Structures are given as C-alpha cells and as structure tokens.
Structure 1
Amino acid sequence: MDVPLLALTNQPSRLPGRSPQEAVIENMRLLIQLRWIAVAGQLVAILVAHLLLDVTLPLAAMLSVAGLLALGNLLFTFTLRERWVVPGELFLALLLDMAALTAQLYLSGGVRNPFVSLYLLQIVLGAVLLPAGRAWLLVGVSIAAFIFLALRHLPLNLPPLGKDDIDLFLIGEEIAFVMVAILLVLFTTRISRNLRARDAYVAELRQRAAEEDSIVRMGLFASGAAHELGTPLSSLSVLVGDWQRMADYGSDPHFREELADARRAVERCREIVSDILDTSGLPRGEAMASLAAEQLLEGLVADWTALHEEVPLDASFGAVRGARIPGEPALRQALWSLLENAGEASPSGIVMRAEATGDQLVVHILDDGPGFAPEQIAALGQALRSAKGAGHGLGLFLASSVARRLGGSLDAGNRPEGGASVRFALPLVGSERSA
C-alpha cells in the first residue's frame, strides 16, 4: 500500500504585487511620460511667449535644451524597452530633468521666472522614489541650482505693461501652480500605487520564506524521527516474530490473530519510515514525472477505506479520466491531510469530488462538522493555525503550501447546509483524455 509522503519542491509560483525590479521599471515608465509632458510644455511655453506675447527669448538655446531633453528621454525609453534599467537610474533621470529645468530657467530670468516652482515637483518625486540619501542629495542639488540662478541668469525681458495690460508674471505663476499641483497628484498617486505593490510583493516573499523554514524544519524533524524509530521498530518486528513461533502463544487462535495484526502494523510503520527517508533524499527542485490523477485518487480512497472503516468516504471522480498531474510525493500527503481533517470533524462520513476542468484538477472535500471559524478562513494556510489546538494546523498549512508551489490554490469555506468545504486546485501537466 502506498503511504502519504512529505517532500519539497522548488517550483516557482507567481507572487502578488510587483517585484522591486518591476516597480523600478514601472516608475521609470512614469518618469518618461512626465518628461514627454515637460518637453511638450517647454515647447508650447517658448513658442507662445515668443510668438504671441512678444517676449524676447534666446530661442536657439532654449529649443536646443528641449531637444537634448527629448533625446535623453529616447535613450531612457530604449533602456526601458530592453529592460536595462540599472540601480541609480531613477536618480540620474531626475538629475537630467533638474539640469534641463535649470538650463531653461537660466536662459529666461532665473529665479524671477514663475516656473521656478517646478523644482518642487522634482524634489517631491525624489522623496517618493529614491532612498533617503539620494533624495537629500537631490535636495542639495536643487538648492545649489536655485542659488546659482539667483546670482547668474539671463534677464527675462517682458514687454512693458500698459494700464490695462495683463500681468504676464502673475499669469505665469498661476499656470505654474496649477501644473505642479496637477502633476504632483497625478504622478505621485500612480507611483505610490507601484510602491504599495512592491511592498506587497516583498511582504509575501518574507511570508513564503517563513513558510519555507517551517517546512524545512518539519522535514528535518520527520527525517530525524524516522532514523530514531528504525531501531525500535526492527526490535518490535523481531519480538513479534518470536512470539508467533512460540507454542504457548501460537496455539491460541485469538492471540495468534492479534499477533498477526501487530506484525502488519509494525511492517506498515517500517514502510512509512522507509518512505520518509527515501523522500528526504530527493533533491529539491528535481523534475517530477507526471502521474495519472485517477491513480492518485483511487489510491487515496483505497487507503482511507483500509485505515478508516468507521468513517465512510463518498468519492466520485469519473471526470478526471486521462488527466495527469505532477508526480510530487507531497501532493498525496496534502490531500491525505485534508481527508484526515475532514474525518476528524465529521466522523459520520465525508465526501470527495474531483473533476478536470480546463487546465486544472479540482478536488472538493466536504464534511458535516462544525465548519471553520472566520479567523481560520482569514488565516488559511498559515502555520499552526487550527481549531484543534496549538501545533495541529499543519494539515491546511502543508496543503496550501503544496498547492501554491505547484501553481495551484487552496480555498476553504463553510457550506450553507452546515459543515466545511475545501477546494484544492492544481494545474494539469498533460492529458490522455480523448475529445
């Protein structure tokens, strides 16, 4: 008889959120969008001031700065498309923006230019995107640029104001304020969303690492216990065999039957110990052969019937014929643990239904027990969370870990008519099913 095993696999599964590298790439994409807005805004402002408002400007120099900024943005776009974003590139991008802004302000009045407030946009973006050290460095650069512009700049020659003329400087300040306010809200909210996605990814990664540690410790404990149990089990096997051969014990049919049961129990324990040791020797990440889903489920039903005659199992899985699943030993252990949990909660009987839908095998395990408490469902799959007391939450934890590692999922809930329902899903690796 096959025995449920515990093994580890290194198959990756998709984590929620964004990885730190993905977050950097997305933030760089937002900066590129903002820079195109800046290039377009500079061109519009220069042309409107020169052509419509009759403001004297060094057109060639200012258009050259806008062109260089656009060229730099094309370079950042290329590196982003090739995913060549390197550490510190966000800082370099913000420095480029600040340098272009400083050059344009130098050519158009320095700190007297109403658009000098755009420095605040760069500082806020740096505070959100950069580590503290680089953010403060960006602040220092902006302060130095501001002081430089206060001391050195080309004058901004505005046309003389008549009695009824519009104050161009005041209009410029109002436009600059509106631009900074809108761009700050628009881009910082999107950047903050990216950073929250990154934090969610890192938090989930830490949770997975903690679960990995728990699984490794369980595996080490199981392996050590198996080694220690080997000798006493061998002694028991020899002792029971000696008793069976003794005339005093062998002549009693009732006692002879009990000795035979004891011998079978000892041999089964030795098989379990041997299987645990064999499984512990599997290299992590080793490619597993596929297994017929029907074979696994039939084996589970046969073992359950042999070991738990007092708890009826109503099983139905005709819809999985031909479907194949990963031949991962821990998969059997995971499903066995779910059956054990259901059997403990519902001694009157449990139900197992399985079907292959699309590219997934879905197994439903139902019982008529008290069901799950809300906090159990909220903490589903976390180590040592159980209604059975401390240290008894390993079944759901193991099943959830195995499902996630194989690219599947584990969901639990309560049935409207009473009892618990667990849904175990994992991807198929092949199929022999005919159309």
Structure 2
Amino acid sequence: MALESTGDASDRKNLLLLIQLRWIAAIGQLVTIWFVHVELAIALPLIEMLAVIAFLVGLNLVSLLRYRHRERVTNTELFLELLLDVGALTVQLYLSGGALNPFISLFLLQVILGAILLETWSVWTLVAITSACFIGLTAFHRDLPMPHSHLAGFWNLHVQGMFICFALSACLLVAFITRINANLRRRDARLAELRQQSAEEEHVVRMGLLASGAAHELGTPLSTLSVILNDWEKMPALARNSELAQDMTDMQAQLARCKSIVTGILLSSGEARGEGTIRTGVRAFLDEAVADWRSLRAPVAFDYENAFAPDEPVISDLALRQVIVNVLDNALEASPLWVGLVARRQGDTLCVEVSDRGPGFPPEFAAELGKPYRSTKARAGAGLGLFLVVNVLRRLGGAVEAGRRAEGGACVRLTLPLIGLSGGRP
C-alpha cells in the first residue's frame, strides 16, 4: 500500500505539471493568434480558435479541481489528459493550414511527454493517434494564406514559424522533463526508503518472534527454580543457616525479576492474558520508567529533569519504555560516572534528551544511526539496541537524532508525536 501511494503521489505531481504546461499552451496560442492576425495581417478564424483556447482553460479548471480533491491519479487519466491536448492541437492546426503549419511538430512534444509519464500501451496508442492526426491534416484543413512565402532563408515566414516551434518545444521539454525527472527521482528514493524500512521491520519481527519464543521456553525452568527455592526455604537445616537463607531470598528476588521480564516480553507481543490497556500520563510514565532504571542500574550520578507540561494522557507502552531504558543503558555504559535525562514538551511533541560524558559518537556514525549491528562497541551483537530504538520510534511516528555535546560526550534526542503515544495514528 505504501509503495502504491508513493506512485500515486508522483502521478499527482505529473498531473500538476501537465496543468501548468496547458496554461503555457493557452497563453502561447493567444499570443500567436494576436501576432499572426494583427501584426502579420493573416486572416484567421478567430471565433473557432478562441473557442479551442476556452476549452483548454475549462479543462484546466476541471483538472485543478480533480488535483485538489482526489488523492489518486491513474495512468488512464493522464492518458486522457494528453489525448485532449492532442485533440485541441489538431483542431487549431486544422483551422490554420493543417500539416503545412510549422507548429505541426508540437505533436512530437505530446508524444515525448507521454513516453515519460505513461505506461507502454498508452504511449503507443498516443503515437498512433498523433500519426493519424498528422496524416488527416494533410488532406483536411483550412488553407492559410502565407505572405512573403517567396523569400528565402530565415526570412521565409514558414521557416521562422518552424524556428519558433523548435525553440518553444526545446525550452518546454528541458523545463518540464527536468521537473518530471525530479519527481521520478524523489519517487524512486522514497521507494528505496520504504523497501529499507520493510527489510528492517522484517528483521524486528524475526527478533520479536525469537524473544517471544524464548520467553515461553524460559517460563517452565523459572517456575521449576521457584518451586525448588520454596522447598529449600522450608527445610529446617537450610533455614538455620543465615547466610544460605539470605542467598535464597536474593535468588527469589532475582527469579521474580526474571518472571517480570518474561511477562513484559509476552505483554508487549500481545500474548499475555488478562491484561488491559494501561493509561497514564506522560510525566508519570517517564517518572516510573526512570525510577525502575535507576533502582536496577544504580548510577553514580544521574541528573533527571521532567519538564513536560502540561501533562498529557497516554497509553503505557512497554516498547517505548524499553526504548528509554536502552538509551539510558548505552549512556551509562559510555559514561559510568554521569548520565543526564531531560524531558520537555514542544507543541504536540514529547522530546527526551539523554546525555553522557563519554567519548561521544564519531562523525560517520550519524549516517548509520539505527542500522543493525552498527555500533562503536567492539563486541558481537552490538548495535541492536539503537536499531530497535529507531524502529519503535518510527512505528510511533517519531525520530532519533544523535550528536556530540559541546562540553564533551554524546547526546541522543528522541522526539515523539503525542498522538502516537495516545494510541492514535501518527
């Protein structure tokens, strides 16, 4: 669907280019008719020719309404637009000399535009129609008296008309084909970006399936260990040993922590049972995530500022919570002595900045931010944390930026639209 909508956007831009070209054609025809009729004193069927120009103006107004009120533009519609232009040009040529009119080569301009914008069958149909119109104009047309036709060289009116047609066609082709190609390049770049996103999301899905499977498999051994520890705590010989009793208490706490992690994995993948949607506020969500991280990691120095105001109701998203934890973990690993987090509101966006005093990111890292297994850490599997961060934020309509602090260290900035956090469509 995303790839299809990208093609539709490109076709809409091309329709707008055709509309602009038609305005130029209408104005050019008015100027040409005035010059030939007034300056060259060549009699023209003004009523009929002005009626054709009025038709082009009306067609453009209809096309503009179509462009503004509908998102999808098909190949057939572009083909019909060009076909109507060919029809208007044919009528104008019929009224002004037929195939002997030097502007007959404007048919080629329509064919070139069709070759760029249309599908193969449409282009060849357009070639056949313009060829038939050319042949028809050799036999059916109104004669146009040409004064000074006896002059040779460039002073011959027919030669001058051919030159004007050539210069006009060349300028229009360069201007509009350049813009059409720019539209196509933007479309291709967008398609490449969407394919890359699709590949990354597939990678995330595989990782999610592996995590979910591992969580299922870990449930049984964790439960077994919990039962064994409960039995040990009831054994008198072990209960009298204070050191062993304390160790068993610590082991129970760690088992409870492991069960909580497993439950969180299953809940985030939609497999936990009996759990409803948890709604909270942005401030409470951030405070809770930071408090849990601080209690588990116990950083030496941690500056936390929650300046998000006014508060906003959101859904407690475990994936987003893990995003914040991942960024904090990376900062703590790079800078064990100090980590900072500042959260603030900018309009309808939540901005979270995590800073550290570590070595910072190398300049080339910004271009590879969020790519799997791209990391400054020299160990296997490094880089998956930021990869997951980027993909989770992308799903929520947010973005990640990484840079260096002026006073030294790194700064990772997370931006999230509040509509994505509240369960709406970003």
TM-score by structure 1 length? 0.85
After superposition, the C-alpha distances for 1:133-170 in whole angstroms (9 at most, x for unaligned) are 32333233333333333454443321245779942212
Aligned residue among 222, 232, 239 for 1:233? 222
The amino acid that maps onto 1:299 is E
User: Does residue 1:402 correspond to 2:384, yes or no?
Assistant: no
User: Does residue 1:159 correspond to 2:147, yes or no?
Assistant: yes
After superposition, the C-alpha distances for 1:104-131 in whole angstroms (9 at most, x for unaligned) are 2233233321112222321222122222
Distance 1:324 1:392, change over 3 A: farther
Which residue does 1:34 correspond to in 2? 21
User: Does residue 1:279 correspond to 2:279, yes or no?
Assistant: no
The amino acid that maps onto 2:165 is A
The amino acid that maps onto 1:324 is E
CA distance in 2, matches of 1:121, 1:418: 59
Distance 1:418 1:92, change over 3 A: same
CA distance in 1, matches of 2:262, 2:344: 32
List gaps (5 residues or longer) in structure 2.
none
CA distance in 2, matches of 1:376, 1:84: 38
Tell me which of the two structures has the higher relative contact order, counting C-alpha pairs closer than 8 angstroms and 6 or more residues apart.
1
Distance 1:301 1:75, change over 3 A: closer
Which residue does 1:210 correspond to in 2? 199
CA distance in 2, matches of 1:356, 1:47: 61
Equivalent residue runs for 1:124-273 within 5 Å: 124-161=112-149, 166-273=155-262
User: Does residue 1:356 correspond to 2:345, yes or no?
Assistant: yes
Deviation for aligned residue 1:266:
0.8
Distance 1:221 1:162, change over 3 A: closer
Distance 1:313 1:120, change over 3 A: farther
Equivalent residue runs for 1:362-377 within 5 Å: 362-377=351-366
The amino acid that maps onto 1:246 is M
Which residue does 1:106 correspond to in 2? 94
Aligned residue among 312, 318, 324 for 1:329? 318
Which residue does 1:412 correspond to in 2? 402
CA distance in 2, matches of 1:411, 1:257: 45
Deviation for aligned residue 1:190:
2.4
Structure 1, 201-210 or 143-152: larger mean CA deviation: 143-152
The amino acid that maps onto 2:413 is R
User: Does residue 1:292 correspond to 2:281, yes or no?
Assistant: yes
Distance 1:49 1:85, change over 3 A: farther
List gaps (5 residues or longer) in structure 1.
1-14
Distance 1:85 1:157, change over 3 A: farther
For the 8 Å contact 1:79–1:85, the answer to whether it is kept is no
For the 8 Å contact 2:303–2:341, the answer to whether it is kept is yes
Other structure's SS at 2:19 match: helix
CA distance in 2, matches of 1:26, 1:416: 43
User: Does residue 1:62 correspond to 2:49, yes or no?
Assistant: yes
CA distance in 1, matches of 2:314, 2:6: 27
CA distance in 2, matches of 1:173, 1:354: 68
Structure 1, 165-174 or 215-224: larger mean CA deviation: 165-174
Distance 1:275 1:84, change over 3 A: closer
CA distance in 2, matches of 1:262, 1:360: 42
TM-score by structure 2 length? 0.86
Deviation for aligned residue 1:59:
3.7
Which residue does 2:65 correspond to in 1? 78
After superposition, the C-alpha distances for 1:342-390 in whole angstroms (9 at most, x for unaligned) are 1222223322222233333222111233322334311212333223345
Which structure has the highest helix share of the two?
2
CA distance in 1, matches of 2:45, 2:277: 70
Which residue does 1:315 correspond to in 2? 303
Distance 1:61 1:197, change over 3 A: same
After superposition, the C-alpha distances for 1:192-247 in whole angstroms (9 at most, x for unaligned) are 23223323332332233223322322222222111111110001111112222223
Deviation for aligned residue 1:187:
1.9
Which residue does 2:111 correspond to in 1? 123
State the identity as a percent.
Answer: 47
Deviation for aligned residue 1:74:
3.1
Structure 1, 352-361 or 232-241: larger mean CA deviation: 352-361
Other structure's SS at 1:410 match: strand
Deviation for aligned residue 1:24:
1.9
Distance 1:84 1:271, change over 3 A: closer
